[in-house]
Amino acid sequence: MFKNLIGGEWVDGPRSTRNINPSDTRDVIGEYAQADAAQARDAVAAAAQAQRAWGQSTPQQRFDVLDAAGAEILARRAELGDLLAREEGKTLPEAVGEVVRAGNIFKFFAGEALRGDGELVPSVRPGVGVEVTREPVGVVGLITPWNFPIAIPAWKIAPALAFGNAVVLKPAELVPGSAWALADILQRAGLPGGVFNLVMGRGSEVGQVLLDDARVDAISFTGSVPTGQRIAAACVARMAKFQLEMGGKNPMVVLDDADLEVAVSAAVNSGFFSTGQRCTASSRLIVTEGIHDRFVEAMARRMATLKVDDARKPGTDIGPVVDERQLAQDLEYIALGQSEGARLVAGGEALERNADGAPGHYLRPALFADTTASMRINREEIFGPVVSVLRAKDYEEALALANDTPFGLAAGIATTSLKHATHFKRHAQAGMVMVNLPTAGVDYHVPFGGRKASSYGPREQGRHAAQFYTTVKTAYTQA
Ligand SMILES: NC(=O)C1=CN([C@@H]2O[C@H](COP(=O)(O)OP(=O)(O)OC[C@H]3O[C@@H](n4cnc5c(N)ncnc54)[C@H](O)[C@@H]3O)[C@@H](O)[C@H]2O)C=CC1
Ligand SMILES: O=Cc1ccc(S(=O)(=O)O)cc1
């Protein structure tokens, strides 16, 4: 039994849940404790108690813990990547890449703990000095989704600890294994008991405690829009700080002058890799007249070469969908697209078994053409390997279509025109813009986040993370 970590102790739960491999649903990865509301409150109490000393710890102490955690994650990349691929279903190379990202994030924020930030500012009044400093927020509740089981917890935990906060992490129910491994690593990296707490359990029970408990000073959340909205309402009601990363309906524009090979590779990568289960995935390909038919044909040819199979098998391009509920959602949208009049060019069939006959949640990546902007498949986040092509007359119409969405996380363009690339970087209504690159596949040391319904609050990642995990103090002294 894998237990919760509360106040530095491994604690059993009143219930437990089985962690199932979506590539082979007969494979049970382990039994994981499920905390209840009382245990979640114990974790908050432990964090509140431990934060006082951790908030006063030296930058060297915080560097040492984060650096040790990062080093262990990187050293165990193969084993942790295997666990991640087994519980979430992304392919082994993708999973190892995610583990490396997590290790690098800990290393980056170890450095940030040392690079203290503050200003001495001349006052407008004679004889007065002004200091502007940053202090920890206090106890932060981290609520994370299933699609990046180690990278998303890492990019919230590492800055939280680096800036002197205590943490209560509630990972997604579907992927407790990577979160547990992270908790074990942090516990052994020398963190004082209670500074980091793991409470696995239901969002409506354990997550709700984090939203309601006045001792939790801030909430950082990644997941769906409806849950994000619930979190926002709860935090505003008691004036807690919060940050939300939610969905996307990310466009990739392909112009007549694009290098076809570059455009197809970027579209296949960002639409279908990680089984399309990335908030940065491109689900709308907006293609101008002159290249449209060649592009759709080339996409179909490339898609026919993609191997859909067990996530941990060498050579697999696309692993399974994470669970049967998500698969049902993907299939509903595929049926909806057909009923809305879109043309299914390739894929879209569910496969109940992989090449070795193991039962899993497999889906052949689906490409729709002849779609319009008002179709629900072009307005709602599907969160699976389902991509639409929209035809545009020219660059201006393509840009307007790209921005015609409630979301604003990432946007891409494939073009050899410097003029259009430059214009798109300025005018795409998205937090992240890519030129001749997939919309998914971001660096770990620069800001991550979006606009409109995609994100709320300060950016995650890079030096900008300090804005969420610290609070600014301005002190005046009369000499
Ligand atoms: N943009 C993104 O990165 C992600 C988007 N999604 C989207 O969300 C859909 C549903 O997936 P879910 O895993 O159910 O997402 P979700 O938003 O319900 O869950 C994300 C996290 O929030 C927690 N949570 C749920 N209800 C809560 C509550 N009342 N209070 C506090 N915490 C709560 C969950 O336990 C999980 O840890 C997916 O089909 C997909 O469309 C899902 C995962 C990531
Ligand atoms: O939210 C975590 C996250 C999201 C996207 C990516 S990437 O676009 O695939 O690099 C990585 C992590």
pLDDT of residue 83: 99
- Any residues with CB less than 8 A from the CB of 325 and at least 6 apart, and which? none
Average pLDDT over residues 71-94: 98
Average pLDDT, the chain: 98
Residue 92: both structure tokens together: 């082994």
Gap between the Cα atoms of 258 and 268, Å rounded: 15
Task: Tell me whether residue 184 is in a domain.
Answer: yes
Domains contained in the chain, number = 2
Closest atom, ligand 1, to C-alpha of 381: 41
Residue pLDDT, tens place only, 44-78:
999 999 999 999 999 999 999 999 999 999 999 99
Tell me how crowded residue 227 is: count the other CB atoms within 10 A of its CB. 18
Task: Tell me whether residue 445 is in a domain.
Answer: no
Task: Tell me whether residue 446 is in a domain.
Answer: no
Residue pLDDT, tens place only, 421-438:
999 999 999 999 999 999
Average pLDDT over residues 299-312: 98
If pLDDT is split at 50, 70 and 90, which confidence band does 456 have? very high
Task: Tell me whether residue 444 is in a domain.
Answer: no
Res. 441: pLDDT tops 90: yes
Residues 209 and 96 grouped into a single domain = yes
Residues 25 and 171 grouped into a single domain = yes
Ligand 1: residue whose CA is nearest its atom 4: 223
Percent of the chain with pLDDT over 70: 100
Residues 235 and 256 grouped into a single domain = no
Q: Which of 341, 342, 343, 361 is nearest to 351 (CA)?
A: 361
Res. 218: pLDDT tops 90: yes
Residues 230 and 104 grouped into a single domain = yes
- Which ligand is nearest to the Cα of residue 386, counting in written order? 1
Residues 19 and 123 grouped into a single domain = yes
Res. 399: pLDDT tops 90: yes
If pLDDT is split at 50, 70 and 90, which confidence band does 479 have? confident
pLDDT of residue 67: 98
Residues 258 and 200 grouped into a single domain = no
Report the alpha-carbon angle 23-178-316, nearest 5.
30
Residue 132: both structure tokens together: 């502007």
Residues catalogued as catalytic:
245
Contact between 374 and 336 under an 8 Å Cβ cutoff? The reply is: no
If pLDDT is split at 50, 70 and 90, which confidence band does 117 have? confident
Give residue 247's identity as a one-letter amino acid code: G
How far does the centroid of ligand 1 lie from the alpha carbon of residue 355, in Å?
Answer: 31
Instruction: Tell me the CA distances in angstroms from 282 to 91, 184, 235, 347, 404, one per residue in order.
Output: 19, 35, 31, 17, 14
Bridge partner residues of 144 (DSSP): none
CATH of the domain at 89: 3.40.605.10
Contact between 249 and 283 under an 8 Å Cβ cutoff? The reply is: yes
CATH of the domain at 410: 3.40.309.10
With a Cβ cut-off of 6 Å, ligand 2 is lined by 148, 151-152, 222, 278-280, 440-442
Task: Tell me whether residue 318 is in a domain.
Answer: yes
pLDDT of residue 166: 99
- Which ligand is nearest to the Cα of residue 216, counting in written order? 1
H-run or E-run covering 119: strand 118-122
Residues 357 and 472 grouped into a single domain = no
Gap between the Cα atoms of 268 and 367, Å rounded: 10
Residue 360: both structure tokens together: 């899993």
How far does the centroid of ligand 1 lie from the alpha carbon of residue 330, in Å?
Answer: 16
Residue pLDDT, tens place only, 2-57:
999 999 999 999 999 999 999 999 999 999 999 999 999 999 999 999 999 999 99
Residues 354 and 381 grouped into a single domain = yes
Ligand 1: residue whose CA is nearest its atom 27: 203
pLDDT of residue 121: 95
Task: Tell me whether residue 426 is in a domain.
Answer: yes
Instruction: Tell me the CA distances in angstroms from 332 to 226, 247, 260, 336, one per residue in order.
Output: 19, 18, 31, 6
Residues 288 and 169 grouped into a single domain = no
SS3 367: strand
Instruction: Tally the residues of the chain.
Output: 479
Average pLDDT over residues 277-296: 98
pTM (predicted TM-score): 0.98
Residues 141 and 235 grouped into a single domain = yes
Res. 273: pLDDT tops 90: yes
Task: Tell me whether residue 447 is in a domain.
Answer: no
Residues 50 and 146 grouped into a single domain = yes
Residues 339 and 210 grouped into a single domain = no
Gap between the Cα atoms of 281 and 319, Å rounded: 15
Instruction: Tell me the CA distances in angstroms from 33 to 36, 114, 178, 339, 366, one per residue in order.
Output: 10, 36, 14, 43, 37
Q: Which residue range forms the structural domain that includes residue 361? A: 250-435
With a Cβ cut-off of 6 Å, ligand 1 is lined by 143-147, 170, 172-173, 203-204, 207-208, 211, 222-224, 227, 230, 246-247, 279, 326, 329, 381, 383
pLDDT of residue 142: 99
Which of 84, 246, 273, 448 should be mutated for ligand 2, with most atoms under 8 A from CB? 448
Average pLDDT over residues 225-235: 98
Closest atom, ligand 1, to C-alpha of 248: 1
Given the cut 0.95, state whether the ipTM is greater than it. Answer: yes
If pLDDT is split at 50, 70 and 90, which confidence band does 393 have? very high
Task: Tell me whether residue 264 is in a domain.
Answer: yes
